[in-house]
Every structure is written in C-alpha cells, then in structure tokens.
Structure 1
Amino acid sequence: MTRVLLLGGTGDALRIARQLGREHVYSLAGLGKVPDDLACTVRVGGFGGSEGMARYIEAQRIALVIDATHPYAAQISANAVTASRAARVPCWALRREGWQPQAGDDWRRVGDWAELTAALAAFERPLFTLGREPLAHLDDIPAHQFWTVRCLDPHEGNARARILATRGPFTLEGERALFAAEAFDVVVSKNSGGGATEAKLEAARERGVPVVMLRRPPLPAVDREFERVADLLEALRIAV
C-alpha cells in the first residue's frame, strides 16, 4: 500500500483529499476551516520544520508526499522536499498556473513588502487580498490612505483600516458590488491562479483599477509536478 501524506489548505487540495481513503493523511496548518466530512485522516498543526516532517513520514510509514499548499507557501514546500528526501520517499506537487494579464489590465509587479508599499504610495483606497500579512502593518498606514484588508479570520481594524473576514470563492457580481461601494483605486494581490478569487481581477479591469501583483516565490524541484488536479488524481490512482 502507498500511504499518502497530502499537505493542503487550498480548494484544490480539498478536492484531492476527498478522493483519499482512510489510510491516507490530509495535513492542514490550521489557519482555516477544518473539514469534518473526509474519509482520510485529518491532521492539524505544524511538524516542527523539515526534520519533524521527516520523522512523521518515517513513523507513519508514508510512501508518498503530495504538496498541494498555496503557491506562496514557499517554506512549507521547501520543508516537504527536504523531508521527503531525508525519508527517501517521492514528493509530488500541484502547482497551478498563475494568472496572466489581459487586454486592459494595469499590473505593477513587486517582489516584497518594501516594493509593494512603494508601488502604493500614489493611491488612497487599496484593497488588500494578500491574506493576513497586511494586518502586521496596520499601525504604519500612510495618513492619506484607507485600507480594506480581506482575509479569512476576523481582526480588529482601526481608523484607517477595515477588515473583511470572508472566504472565497468570490463571484464577479459580488466583486462588482464591492468595488462600486468602496471606490478602490488599486488592488493588491498574490498571483494565486485558479478561479476562486479571479473575479477581483475582472472587476478591476472593468473599472480601470491598477493591480499591484506580488510575484510568486521560487519553489524547489520535485519528483513530479502537476498543474491540474485531474492529472494528479489520475497519476495517484495508478500509484496507489
């Protein structure tokens, strides 16, 4: 039997997890909703770095690691590769294609928080869709700006920041209504790819709103890489 350790936390990972039997393990960091309707074992929490993950792989007799984490979860992806090599098991990864700018888009690509804040200097009402990272900077908001931060968990804002605790997928109609109500003049986004949160880009395009796009981090090489869930599931069906 090929026992699988699936590292998840994304919608794509959940699709894979729903195809796994009880002998397999779906691992979550615990930052979002924990599913309670899966046949496989659900594990919540960290491993203690790559060494802890390697010990877990060996102790649980895992024969295949699948990294289906977020494209920006670079440290987890690096730990997965290091741990699988140490435990001498293969590591696969689901790495969906990023979004590409279309006609009418105005993207300003940045590599880190310093470049991001510099790119925002001329704007007043940004919509942040980076997850929790902007929450650490609420005390540093420039006097001319009012931030809207969309993330999974509730968090207290302040006089110059509103926190929207909500979870995708987001519809184009909903994004149009939000943009019209809040009059955003720039969107800040990760290039996550997929359809769950892409509607904000179409809404921005329709209104001529620029997008400050955080570049994807480099990720380590794996034994097999997939862009589509269907292709990974087919390979997994054969392997397991």
Structure 2
Amino acid sequence: MSRILLLGGTGDALQIARKLTALDVYSVAGLGRTPVGLACAVRVGGFGGEEGLAQYLHTEGVALLIDATHPYAARISANAAAASRAAGVPCWALRRPGWDAQPDDDWRWVDDWAGVRAAIAPFARPFFTLGREALEHLDEIPAHQHWTVRCLDAHPGNARATVIDARGPFSVDSERALFAENAFDVVISKHSGGSATQAKLEVARERGVPVIMVRRPVLPAVERMFAGADELLAALQSDAPRA
C-alpha cells in the first residue's frame, strides 16, 4: 500500500519525488510532461475534489500527504488540507517564498486578470508568463498590442499573439535574447518564487521594463510547512510518518 502521496507538477515536487520509494505515489495533473524514471508510482489526473482525495487517502493507506503544487494552485491546496483532516492523515506543504524586489525593480501589484488588463493597457508588447490563463483571452487583444505568451501549451496564437511553449529553467542570456528580439515593454508574472523563472526579472530590471506582478492566493495552514524541497526532504528522512 502507498505510504506517501505527493501532489506535484513543479520542479520542487520532482526533486522530492526522486527520493520516494516504490511504495509511494507522485500525483500530477497531466498538463505537462509526465515524469519517467522514478522509483515511485506516478498517478496522472485528479481525485474528484476534496471528498475523492480523502477517500483515496483512506483506501490506499496513505500515511502522509505532501502538497508540493504550484503556489497559485489554491484549489488543490485547499482540497489537500481539507482531505487530510477528513481522512486523519497529516499534510505537509511546500510553501516556497516569493521573490524579493530589488531597488531598481518596477513591480506593479495586481490581484487578478481584471487587474492585469487594466495595468497593461498603456503598453504595446506585453510578455505574459502566467501559464495558460492568457490563452483564454487572445481574442480580446486591443489593436495597439501584440502579446507574447509563454506557457507549457503548444498553441497557434493569432495575428496579434505569439505563443511560446517552453519549460524552465531559463537562463539570463536566453531571456536577454528573447527580450531583445521581441522588444517587450512590460512583463506579466506570478509571484512564484524559485530560480527556474527568475531570469526574466533580472532582464526586466536591466532593461527598465516594468513587471505586473499578480499577488499570491492565501493558502491553508497544514501540520507542517517548508520553504524549500531540501528542508522537506530532510524532514522526510528524520520523522515522516509511515503506515
């Protein structure tokens, strides 16, 4: 029976998954590439919400639930916390910190898509790094703008939008070349933290390009929370519950 269920889909989660055993399960949504070469089992797809996840924890004999999903996966994190309580299974969560603004950064904070649209109105060449959300609005692009959207989805874009399907980490040099080629005048980003996509912020700072930063959602408290994968892995070695 499974001992640990890891909810992932991030680079940090994959780092943790590489340390799991054949008894454990790594769960991904299936939106990106499915990881291979892991000792643990890999489960693709959802659980059916809070109740479905709680039932899975019970029937599969899970002793520890680890939430290492994206900082903006608020619904999944809420379901994980609620399901763990319902099933009587402890939940640990990776809550990596966001980035710290530097003196030369021009960050402009918004809460949602409506805030993004209002903030980018004066600009002509926005660079979206929010994931797939912008793809839902490609038919709304105003005449004075051309969007570049970077996400995991291959998409044809349209006459006013270029879609780049790519997965980080991205280097500073590659980001410099991308900014220069496309003449971005504003970047739209989640406050995700981590090193994989930080280079865009360094290049925006160098070029004096403002960043529209979407605030993080509030995530639920769980039994234990960790700032990084290494910290969580150390705890797994020392005191993780095993059924």
Corresponding residue of 1:55 = 55
2:155 is the counterpart of 1:155 = yes
Corresponding residue of 1:39 = 39
Aligned length: 240
CA distance in 2, matches of 1:100, 1:226: 18
> RMSD in angstroms over aligned alpha carbons?
1.0
- Amino acid in structure 2 at the alignment position of 1:230: D
Q: Residues 98-177 of structure 1: matches in 2 within 5 Å?
A: 98-177=98-177
Aligned-partner SS, 1:42: strand
Aligned-partner SS, 1:92: strand
Task: Show structure 1 runs of 4+ deviating over 2 A.
Answer: none
With structure 2 as the length reference, what TM-score do the two structures score?
0.97
Aligned-partner SS, 1:194: coil
- Amino acid in structure 2 at the alignment position of 1:20: L
| Aligned partners of 2:30 and 2:45 also within 8 Å | yes
- Amino acid in structure 2 at the alignment position of 1:19: K
Corresponding residue of 1:229 = 229
Aligned-partner SS, 1:213: strand
- Amino acid in structure 2 at the alignment position of 1:208: G
Instruction: Give CA-to-partner distance per residue, 1:155-188, whole Å, 9 cap, x none.
Output: 1211100000111100000000000110000000
Corresponding residue of 2:76 = 76
Corresponding residue of 2:96 = 96
| Aligned partners of 1:187 and 1:210 also within 8 Å | yes
- Amino acid in structure 2 at the alignment position of 1:145: Q
| Aligned partners of 1:92 and 1:225 also within 8 Å | yes
| Aligned partners of 1:2 and 1:239 also within 8 Å | no
Aligned-partner SS, 1:83: helix
**Shift of the alpha carbon at 1:239?**
2.6
Q: Which runs of 5+ in 2 are unaligned?
A: none
Corresponding residue of 2:202 = 202
- Amino acid in structure 1 at the alignment position of 2:237: R
CA distance in 2, matches of 1:140, 1:87: 44
CA distance in 2, matches of 1:190, 1:183: 21
With structure 1 as the length reference, what TM-score do the two structures score?
0.98
Aligned-partner SS, 2:230: helix
Q: Which runs of 5+ in 1 are unaligned?
A: none
| Aligned partners of 1:71 and 1:192 also within 8 Å | yes
Aligned-partner SS, 1:80: helix
CA distance in 1, matches of 2:207, 2:220: 37
Instruction: Give CA-to-partner distance per residue, 1:73-114, whole Å, 9 cap, x none.
Output: 000000000100000010000011100110110000000111
- Amino acid in structure 2 at the alignment position of 1:182: N
CA distance in 2, matches of 1:141, 1:175: 24
- Amino acid in structure 1 at the alignment position of 2:238: I
CA distance in 2, matches of 1:89, 1:207: 49
CA distance in 2, matches of 1:239, 1:226: 14
CA distance in 2, matches of 1:232, 1:207: 36
**Shift of the alpha carbon at 1:2?**
8.1
- Amino acid in structure 2 at the alignment position of 1:143: A
CA distance in 1, matches of 2:50, 2:139: 34
CA distance in 2, matches of 1:231, 1:204: 30
Q: Matched residues, percent identical?
A: 67
| Aligned partners of 1:2 and 1:64 also within 8 Å | no
